[in-house]
Structure 1
Amino acid sequence: MSPLWKFTLGRVGLCVLIGALLWPTGLHILVIAMAALLGSFLLSFVVLKKWRTEMLADVDEAVKRRRAQKEELRSALAGEDE
């Protein structure tokens, strides 16, 4: 599974978990949803640090690869190809 999907599913899981924990409190559903979203955002910095680091490394690698391909294409179109 790609690091992006692991991190995304981890964030969704945290959100669902926090929402499930707040459900019995009797708060309004929108308040529970906002608290779950905010809580999953904050907890993901601590709980999902490893997955976030993996995801960022994967995205950085993809960006570097795309830049190299773009540069190769530009040099080929400019006639600088050997």
Structure 2
Amino acid sequence: MSAAVKYTLGRIGLFVVVVAALWPTGMNVFLKLMLALVFSAAASFFLLRTWRDEMAEEMAAAAERRRADKERLRSALAGDDQPDGEAPGERR
């Protein structure tokens, strides 16, 4: 399972746990949901740090791969990527 999926499910799980903890109180439903959102975000900052770091590393690696592929494509389109010393425009 990817780190992004784990982190997202963890955030949703924390939100559900906080909503369940606040449900028996006599507050307005909208207020309960807003407090659950704030408290679960704060809790995830500390409790889900490793999953967030893993997700950031995966995203950085994917961005680096996309950048490398883009540079490789640009050089191939510019004709800089010729196999075995073949001159541009020359075919075998």
Structure 1: stretches of 5+ with no match in the other structure: none
SS in 2 for 1:26: coil
Aligned to 1:36: 36
CA RMSD of aligned residues (A): 0.6
**If you compute each CA radius of gyration, which structure gives the higher value, 1 or 2?**
2
Percent sequence identity over aligned pairs: 51
SS in 2 for 1:24: coil
Give the count of matched residue pairs.
82
Superposed CA deviations along residues 57-81 of structure 1, whole A, max 9, x for unmatched, are 0100000000000000111111111
From the two aligned structures, give the one with the greater helix fraction: 1
Aligned to 2:12: 12
Superposed CA deviations along residues 27-55 of structure 1, whole A, max 9, x for unmatched, are 11111111111111111110000100100
TM-score for both structures, normalised by structure 1: 0.97
Poorly superposed stretches of 4+, deviation over 6 Å: none
Q: Given residue 78 of structure 2, which amino acid in structure 1 is its aligned partner?
A: A
Q: Which structure 2 residues correspond to residues 42-57 of structure 1 after superposition, within 5 A?
A: 42-57=42-57
Distance 1:26 1:12 in 2: 23
